[in-house]
Amino acid sequence: MADNQPLFLNRIRAALGDGDKERIAWEELAAPIDDSAVLQKLTIRSWEEQRLLLRQLVDTAGPLHLEVHICASLIEAASCIIAIARDSTPEFGSSKEIVIHDHPLLRALQLESLLVEAAIRTHLTRSNDPEVRQHTVNASIGITAAAWGIAESATIVQLTRPGQPRSTSLVPSIHIAVLELANLVATLAEAYALIRQEPDLESLVLISGPSKTADIEGTMVHGAHGPRAMHLLILTIEPVVDKKA
């Protein structure tokens, strides 16, 4: 098909007219934002302040049906996940399977061996594994590691990375996200300052609770097309050295 772009943009230029004195260059229109002050603020935020943010997140999460679990250790987090898995019933298939992002934090939970004991199969979403899609469709639970959390809106920021596909937090009936308390920020603006530090981001998604709809007579129902339940595990392990130094 013909390249319509020059014609299209010319029509816009004609519509704008040439008399506009306010025109500035792209570089000025999209002048880079200096995030250093925000980032600096994040590095000096104390552990007590992080705990206050956690309290705010818990308060906000309630009305969104986002279940927050506070875990003081990796072992506690792992047993929390196992409890959720045991109590769940598969929605679409008959077997209990779990897909897990291939992420260092999640590998450290050693879920694979623990869940084998509970007779639940797990699959890591390893890069280049052609069966990941099928595993994800079959799975009743997807586990992801969130890059950051946002306290004001009870949101997690999920970056798409090799081994960390988008569908893990979407296709299974239950989504469990794991977040380190050190990575909880106060506002969307702070999260955006962090996102801007990530070069070549292919895609990202902000998630604030389970999927929902109110399309039938305004009645809120959780579980429209995405997960019907979402759990957020906050790991409150205080960093030994300054977390972001």
Partner 1 sequence: MNPSSQPSYNEAARQGLANPCLQRSLHGLQAHYGKGALALWRTLPDPTLRSRVKARRMQTLAHLDLVLEQLADGIRARGGQVFFAATEAEANEYVRDLACKRGVRRVVKGKSMLSAEIGIDAALAADGVEVVETDLGEYIVQMAGSTASHIIAPCIHMDRQQIGRLFAKHLHIPYTDDPPTLTRAARKALRQHLLTADMGLTGCNFACAETGQITLVSNEGNIRMATTMPRLHVALMGMERIVATLDDQRDLLQLLTQAAALQKLSTYVSCVGGPSPAGDLDGPEEFHLVIIDNGRSRILADPEFREVLACIRCGACLNICPVYGRIGGHAYGSPYSGPIGAVVTPLLSGINLHADLCKGETLCGACRDVCPVANDLPRMLAALRHKLAYGDPGWHVRPQNRLEAFGFKLWRKIVGSKKCYESFLKFFRALQRPFIGPQGMIGRLPGFGGGWTGGRDLPPLASSSFRERWRQVHSKNRTDCAGTETEEQRHGG
Decide: is 13 part of the binding site for partner 1 (CB under 8 A).
yes
Nearer to partner 1, 192 or 237 (CB): 192
Helices (H) and strands (E) in the chain, counts: 9, 12
Q: Which pair of structure tokens corresponds to residue 95?
A: 């077997």
**Under rule CB under 8 A, how many of the chain's residues touch partner 1?**
73
Nearer to partner 1, 5 or 46 (CB): 5
CA–CA separation, 151 and 55 (whole Å): 8
> Helices 36-43 & 188-195, crossing angle to 10 degrees?
110
Residues 34-93 that bind partner 1 (CB under 8 A): 60, 64, 92
- Segment contacting partner 1 (CB under 8 A): 29-37, 76-84, 139-147, 235-243? 29-37
- Segment contacting partner 1 (CB under 8 A): 78-86, 111-119, 224-232, 237-245? 224-232
Nearer to partner 1, 82 or 206 (CB): 206
- Identify whether the C-beta of residue 172 lies closer than 8 Å to the C-beta of residue 99: yes
Min CB(165)–partner 1 separation in Å: 4
Nearer to partner 1, 71 or 228 (CB): 228
Nearer to partner 1, 27 or 48 (CB): 27
Nearer to partner 1, 62 or 162 (CB): 162
Query: Is 5 exposed, middle or buried, given 0-12, 13-18 or 19+ CB atoms closer than 10 A?
Result: exposed
Nearer to partner 1, 73 or 213 (CB): 213
Closest listed residue to residue 81, CA positions, set 242, 191, 235, 231:
231
- Segment contacting partner 1 (CB under 8 A): 46-54, 81-89, 109-117, 151-159? 151-159
Residues 177-206 that bind partner 1 (CB under 8 A): 188-189, 192, 195-196, 201-206
CA–CA separation, 128 and 206 (whole Å): 25
Residues 85-144 that bind partner 1 (CB under 8 A): 92, 125, 127-129, 132-133, 136-137
Min CB(79)–partner 1 separation in Å: 28
What SS3 string covers 18-60?
CCCCCCCCHHHHCCCCCCHHHHHHHHCCCHHHHHHHHHHHHHH
Among 53, 111, 120, 207, binds partner 1 (CB under 8 A): 207
Q: Buried (b) or exposed (e) across 15-25, using 16+ Cβ within 10 A?
A: eeeeeeeeeee
